[in-house]
Amino acid sequence: MAPRIVARHLSHPRGHFGRLIGFLMNRHNARMNAFAVKQLSLRPDDHVLEIGFGGGATLPALIAGAKFVVGVDRSADVVGWAKSKYARAIAEGRAEFHEGHVETLPFESASFGKVCTVNTVYFWKSLETGFAEIRRVLVQGGRVAVGFLPKDRMARMNMPADIFTLCAAEDVVAALKTCGFGDIRVEQPQPDTPWNVIIASC
Ligand SMILES: C[S@@+](CC[C@H](N)C(=O)[O-])C[C@H]1O[C@@H](n2cnc3c(N)ncnc32)[C@H](O)[C@@H]1O
């Protein structure tokens, strides 16, 4: 089994070790994050929300490609690190970072045109609760991109079951449908890529 301390910091990075984990995640998850951002087809007038940005692998591309980027994460420490790293974008009114949970997003309804979340679904209380909240904060016609390592691949990593809930692509697709999303596609850059990014519209 993967060490519990690593699993705990993947789920909720904190302190110096959490910062190291964030740095390692950025390297390890770079391709999945870049592919998820690509699936958003960003436009210069987009308002984008990223949920669970962790080490911030997507943030440079999101901030460069959209009008306004909001990051929300349940870890107060990663929010603090992003506020410090992106102080200039914040001062220019192009970015904001908030502590919060996917289950109760601290935003008004219909606030964003696009939402991105990568490697977070394993930690949600339920897929339906998370996607219902994402649907609420998206405008009509908005798009969500959800990147993750599916159950069969994640099982090989032996993550502790009380921290990681594994989900198959079919589970995510079913939850998206239940929450009113349509036009759902499961994308991978190559057929043998271990992870996938699911895109859906509302
Ligand atoms: C494994 S890291 C992934 C970070 C980044 N997205 C990546 O792919 O490298 C998971 C991140 O999601 C955050 N997170 C986990 N569950 C969450 C939830 N229910 N609501 C908001 N953030 C959450 C964690 O604090 C952590 O920063």
Give the number of the atom of ligand 1 that is nearest the alpha carbon of residue 10.
Answer: 1
Rama region for 81: left / alpha / beta (φ>0; ψ in -120 to 50; rest): alpha
Which element (helix H / strand E) includes 89?
A: helix 87-91
At 25 the pLDDT is 83
Do residues 75 and 144 make contact, with C-beta atoms less than 8 angstroms apart?
no
**Cα 18 to middle of ligand 1, angstroms:** 12
How many CB atoms are located within 10 Å of the residue 109 CB?
11
Q: CA-to-CA distance for 22 and 123, rounded, in angstroms?
A: 16
* 4-201 homologous superfamily: Vaccinia Virus protein VP39 (3.40.50.150)
For ligand 1, the distance from its centroid to the CA atom of residue 45, given in whole angstroms, is 26
Residue type, 43: R
- Our answer on whether the CB atom of 117 is closer than 6 Å to any ligand 1 atom is no
Question: Ligand 1 atom 18: the closest Cα is on which residue?
Answer: 101
Q: What is the pLDDT of residue 20?
A: 87
Is 21's C-beta closer than 6 angstroms to any atom of ligand 1? no
Determine the atom of ligand 1 nearest the C-alpha atom of 130: 19
Residue 135: both structure tokens together: 């649907």
Ligand 1 neighbour 121 (Cβ under 6 A): no
The pLDDT of residue 1 is: 52
Q: State if residue 62 touches ligand 1 by the CB under 6 angstroms criterion.
A: no
CB 123 within 8 A of CB 11: yes
- 97 CB within 6 A, ligand 1: no
pLDDT of residue 162: 94
Question: Residue 95's beta-bridge partner residues?
Answer: 69
Residue 52: the pLDDT is: 98
Q: Is the CB of 9 under 6 A from ligand 1?
A: no
Q: Could you tell me if 60 and 48 are in contact, meaning their C-beta atoms sit under 8 angstroms apart?
A: no
Residue with CA nearest ligand 1 atom 13? 52
Mean pLDDT per 10-residue interval, the chain, length 202 residues: 82 90 84 97 98 96 98 97 98 98 98 98 98 98 98 92 95 98 97 96 96
**Reading across the β-sheet that carries 47-51, which strands appear in turn?**
95-99, 68-73, 47-51, 112-118, 138-148, 196-201, 182-187
